[in-house]
Structure 1
Amino acid sequence: MLPILPSPTPTLSPAPSSSSNSLNILRLTPPSSSSDQISDPRSSGAPPMAVKVYVVYYSMYGHVAKLADEIKKGASSVEGVEVKVWQVPEILSEEVLGKMGAPPKTDVPTITPQELAEADGVLFGFPTRFGMMASQMKAFFDATGGLWREQSLAGKPAGVFYSTGTQGGGQETTPLTAVTQLTHHGMVFVPVGYTFGAKLFDMDKVQGGSPYGAGTFAGDGSRWPTEMELEHAFHQGKYFAGITKKLKGSSA
């Protein structure tokens, strides 16, 4: 630990390295004058750093991936927001996936838990298994213990979207039980609410989604997200990106 020195408080800077010693040695240097201070980029006219929104999903048959594509489009429509789509690692073998009739994985990059810390906000997507998130997504959350220990995700906004097989298959229980994962990380859950408007109240046709987030029904696998469900996903992406941008701006 460095000793307490009298005012003016010294700053630390690396001393030049020499060929005889490859280690960087810290030396004490006097504080810079006011004319040498680094100016705030917000006052110097420098462009602000982009807000990073990650869309992280698991999709076995492609329904959640389809929602993720629309969510990316919606989030990307917000100025100053940079969106990156990831998928979580698969935990089933190719043999098992083949017996389940799952198509080959897409070329969307696979995320590691540590990479979550780079995002300013994260939207998680997953299919339902008995009213809760699929085990692939749960396994990914189980691997984020290091981030929890370091509180790397605390304060970051997070949202969810999902797919179920039937109307009573978990359109609300799945996102509701997923909130426990976000809570333990100290993330800020951002539901889409009823900001999508009157279409959420349409009773003339079957439609997924809820105030928790965008959703779709897969049925036996042959039903794909409807136009309305994709619109809901686009809206959620745009809405979430706007909230994330506001939160990052207020903390800058």
Structure 2
Amino acid sequence: MTKVLVLYYSSYGHIEKMADAVAEGARSAGAEVDIRRVAETAPKEVVEAAHFKTDTAHAVIEGPDALANYDAIIVGAPTRFGRMPSQMAAFWDTTGGLWFTGKLIGKVGAAFTSTASQHGGQEMTLFSIITNLLHQGMTIVGLDYGYAAQMGVKEVVGGSPYGATTIADGDGSRQPSEADLGGARYQGKRVAELAAKLAA
């Protein structure tokens, strides 16, 4: 059975919800899926003052070597000034050993994100994640336009050909819509399907 890891960082729960949807999509394609988060690196007083969401059902990933156990890795993180946040970057900075030994070459990778506004740097953030995956030798799956719900301007909707996205609003009040979650499920399914084909 194809093994998929959904690895995420979420400050306020938006990316956590997207991670659950990505996992749901991958499972619908028959994959065995684990959801893990990276460790919080912000000081406790910052976490408390900013009211970060600290309750979650998902365990922190054991360490970078765990990545080698999967056929596909789907990475989710919010944007911080047009790039992935330091918490996720710090984790990928520990994967030099995997790069040196080529342990992730040929695996499938993907990215998803959230921003406060519609023009808050979603695509740049996706690329900041994807760049790491490409350096590791992974094959990238985006959110192709087979997922038509990302099109149109009648409502606020996330989505990008580079990965599933959602828009949180400046105060975090907007939760991922059904269209956003549908994009996450679609991308998760596509990743799992490709990983299964490559492993066959």
TM-score (norm 2): 0.95
Determine whether 1:82 maps to 2:32: yes
Tell me the residue number matched to 1:177. 128
Q: Kindly state the Cα deviation for residue 176 of structure 1 after the two structures are TM-superposed.
A: 1.9
Q: Which amino acid aligns with 1:161?
A: F
CA contact (8 A) 1:171 1:208 kept: no
The secondary structure found in structure 1 opposite 2:174 is: coil
Query: Which one has more relative contact order, counting CA pairs under 8 Å at least 6 apart?
Result: 2
Greater gyration radius: 1
Structure 2 partner of 1:149 = 100
CA contact (8 A) 2:98 2:104 kept: yes
- Asked if 1 retains the 8 angstrom alpha-carbon contact of 2:150 and 2:158, the reply is no
Partner of 1:121: 72
For residues 177 and 87 of structure 1, what CA distance do their matches in structure 2 show? 18
Whether the 8 Å CA contact 2:157–2:179 is kept in 1: the answer is yes
By how many angstroms is 1:178 displaced? 2.2
Question: Tell me, which stretches of 5 or more residues in structure 2 are unaligned?
Answer: none
5+ long unaligned stretches in structure 1: 1-49
Structure 1 residue runs of 4+, over 4 Å off? none
Q: Which residue of 1 aligns with 2:49?
A: 99
Determine helix, strand or coil for the equivalent of 1:158.
Answer: strand
Contact 2:75–2:129 under 8 Å retained in 1:
no
**Are residues 105 and 92 of structure 1, via their aligned partners in 2, closer, same or farther at CA, if it must alter by over 3 Å?**
farther
Give 3-state SS (helix, strand or coil) of 1:159's partner. strand
Which residues of 2 match residues 1-252 of structure 1 at below 5 A? Answer: 50-79=1-30, 81-111=31-61, 112-197=63-148, 199-219=149-169, 220-249=171-200
Q: Which structure has greater helix proportion? A: 2
Percent identity of paired positions between Structure 1 and Structure 2: 44
The count of residues paired between Structure 1 and Structure 2 equals 198
- Deviation sequence 1:188-216 (CA, Å, 0-9, x none): 1111221212x222210111111111110
1:209-249 deviation line (CA, Å, top 9, x unaligned) = 11111110111111100111111111111111111111111
Distance 1:167 1:238 in 2: 25
Deviation at 1:68, TM superposition (A): 0.6
Cα distance in 2 for residues equivalent to 1:105 and 1:133: 21
| RMSD of equivalent CA atoms | 1.0
User: Match for 1:141: what amino acid?
Assistant: W
TM-score, structure 1 as length reference = 0.76
Distance 2:87 2:41 in 1: 6
